[in-house]
């Protein structure tokens, strides 16, 4: 009897064991350094939902940092035709193990049904010198989503995130003017300013992808009125229109739109929408002046203008 029960138990284990293609094989533990998962762990389900599979993404939200990438992904995830990746991996920035890592990257994608498109978001890709060529090598027909905000507002939002992160980790902080100004002039080497040079970064992407494969989402408009921007994304991704006005409601306490779907309501993490610090008017003017020509160059490259200072 014991032998019979043991055989039955083994058969059950075999029936529910994950097929080889669903087993995460690399890396076996979270790594450190560029491209690592940091404190995030990935635990793929041993039994995938029936009829689903893991695939490399059909679309990637490539940036920009503090432009609204998380909001865009969460809002697109309302659509039944979208399977959104939960993990941000910065894979295409990696300098090592690229060929081996591509298979691991695929395993991090969500399980999706045949009618769904998979979407990943990693805002650092937009400013990465490596990402455009590597993404093109993976899938030259992939559709790219780029969400941008007024570059000056993005710089201040970037500073705000770092400021609060340092406070939470009991590290010293600097006033924003002390970061933005060096020796009486604008500190153009400040990373947050470099990230807002949209014309510089988009040129690198246009070397590898035609403009019609890059859809630019207006992050400022997405905050004020999300539906029109999401409808444009639906059309770009050739998704049937499923996102509607009732999927959003304005949260007076938080000061931005939250999501309503499948009978549930949810807002972005409390770290989103933090109030920006006041900035000296002369420093703001320096930022506006510095970005003005870069913005014009960007408008010319993408054939579109934005309501930026």
Q: Do the annotations mark residue 274 as ligand-binding?
A: yes
Confidence at 141, pLDDT banded by 50, 70, 90: very high
Residue 147 falls inside a structural domain: yes
Residue 159 falls inside a structural domain: no
Closest CA to 74 of 273, 238, 253: 273
- The H or E element containing residue 236 is helix 226-236
Q: For residues 34-48, give the mean pLDDT.
A: 48
- pLDDT greater at residue 90 or residue 299: 299
Span 186-237, pLDDT tens digits = 999 999 999 999 999 999 999 999 999 999 999 999 999 999 999 999 999 9
- The H or E element containing residue 198 is helix 198-206
Find the angle CA(25)-CA(26)-CA(32) to the nearest 5 degrees: 150
**C-alpha distances out from residue 283 to 61, 177, 186, 292, 308, Å:** 31, 7, 8, 14, 16
Q: Do the annotations mark residue 257 as ligand-binding?
A: yes
Q: For residue 92, give the CATH number of its domain.
A: 3.40.50.300
Residue 97 falls inside a structural domain: yes
Closest CA to 42 of 106, 97, 138: 106
Residue 75 falls inside a structural domain: yes
Q: Do the annotations mark residue 189 as ligand-binding?
A: no
Q: From the centroid of its chain, how far is CA 23?
A: 25
Could you say which DSSP state residue 270 is in? T
Domain with 248 in it: 17-152+197-269
Span 178-187, pLDDT tens digits = 999 999 899 9
236, 144 contact by CB (below 8 A): no
Closest CA to 198 of 186, 221, 216: 216
As for how many domains the chain has, the answer is 1
Residue 304 falls inside a structural domain: no
Residue 1 falls inside a structural domain: no
pLDDT confidence of residue 14:
32
Residue 56 falls inside a structural domain: yes
Rounded to an integer, what distance in angstroms lies between the CA atom of residue 101 and that of residue 141? 21
Q: Do the annotations mark residue 149 as ligand-binding?
A: yes
Residue 230 falls inside a structural domain: yes
Residue 89 has pLDDT above 90, yes or no: no
Residue 261 has pLDDT above 80, yes or no: yes
Rounded to an integer, what distance in angstroms lies between the CA atom of residue 104 and that of residue 210? 28
Q: Do the annotations mark residue 275 as ligand-binding?
A: yes
Using the structure block, give the residue that is written with the tokens 């408009």.
221
Beta strand segments in 149-293, E: 181-182, 185-186, 214-218, 248-251, 256-261, 264-266
The winner for highest mean pLDDT among 93-97, 269-273, 279-283 is 279-283
Rounded to the nearest integer, the mean pLDDT of the chain is 84
Cross-sheet strand order for the sheet of 264-266: 248-251, 256-261, 264-266
Catalytic option among 54, 66, 171, 203: 66
Rounded to an integer, what distance in angstroms lies between the CA atom of residue 227 and that of residue 241? 11
Asked if 54 is an active-site residue, the reply is no
Confidence at 100, pLDDT banded by 50, 70, 90: confident
Alpha helices in 17-51 (DSSP H): none
Q: Do the annotations mark residue 67 as ligand-binding?
A: yes
pLDDT confidence of residue 84:
96
Q: For residues 81-92, give the mean pLDDT.
A: 90
């Amino acid at each position: 009897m014991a032998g019979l029960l043991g055989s039955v138990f083994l058969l059950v284990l075999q029936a529910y064991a994950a097929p080889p293609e669903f087993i995460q094989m690399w890396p076996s533990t979270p790594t450190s350094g560029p491209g690592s998962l940091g404190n995030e762990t990935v635990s793929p389900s041993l039994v995938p939902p029936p009829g689903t599979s893991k695939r490399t993404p059909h679309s990637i939200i490539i940036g920009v940092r503090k432009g609204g990438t998380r909001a865009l992904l969460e809002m697109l995830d309302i659509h039944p035709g979208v399977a959104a990746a939960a993990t941000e991996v910065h894979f295409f920035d990696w300098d090592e193990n690229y060929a081996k890592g591509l298979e691991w990257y695929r395993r991090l994608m969500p399980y999706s049904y045949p009618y769904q498109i998979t979407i990943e978001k990693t805002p650092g890709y937009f400013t990465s010198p490596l990402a455009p060529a590597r993404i093109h090598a993976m899938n030259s027909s992939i559709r790219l989503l780029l969400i941008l905000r007024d570059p000056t507002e993005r710089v201040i939002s970037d500073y705000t995130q770092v400021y609060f992160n340092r406070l939470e980790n009991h590290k010293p902080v600097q006033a924003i003017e002390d970061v933005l100004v060096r020796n009486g002039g604008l500190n153009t080497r400040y990373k947050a300013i470099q990230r807002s040079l949209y014309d510089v970064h988009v040129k690198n992407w246009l070397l590898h992808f035609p403009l019609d494969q890059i859809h630019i989402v207006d992050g400022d408009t997405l905050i004020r009125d999300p539906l029109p921007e999401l409808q444009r994304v639906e059309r770009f991704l050739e998704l049937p229109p499923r996102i509607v006005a009732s999927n959003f409601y304005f949260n007076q306490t938080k000061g931005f739109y939250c999501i309503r779907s499948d009978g549930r309501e949810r807002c972005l993490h409390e770290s989103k929408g933090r109030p920006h610090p006041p900035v000296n008017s002369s420093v703001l003017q320096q930022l506006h002046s510095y970005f003005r020509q870069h913005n014009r160059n960007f408008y010319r490259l993408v054939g579109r203008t934005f309501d930026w200072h």
